[in-house]
């Protein structure tokens, strides 16, 4: 996996974390790594669901004192823009 980019979405509420993560991933190459930071409690459900739906790999998820840290690998699904 390549050097990870970080997308800090702390403070944003549903549906913004999913929309912003989707936009970032669309601009990345297949196999690139992304770390997504969130504070929205629903992101723990929404982010994994959207990643599976769009064909991306959830490498790991960590619960933190402030929310979640998702380690993602861009899949081949979706279109690069």
Catalytic residues: 14
Per DSSP, 46 falls in state H
56 close to 71: Cβ distance less than 8 angstroms: no
The answer for residues whose C-beta is within 8 angstroms of residue 66's C-beta and 6 or more apart is 10, 39
């Amino acid at each position: 996996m390549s050097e990870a980019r970080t997308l800090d979405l702390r403070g944003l509420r549903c549906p913004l974390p999913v929309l912003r993560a989707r936009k970032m991933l669309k601009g990345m190459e297949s196999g690139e790594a992304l770390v997504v930071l969130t504070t929205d409690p629903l992101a723990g459900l929404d982010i994994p669901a959207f990643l599976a739906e769009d064909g991306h790999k959830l490498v790991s998820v960590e619960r933190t004192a402030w929310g979640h840290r998702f380690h993602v690998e861009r899949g081949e699904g979706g279109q690069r823009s």
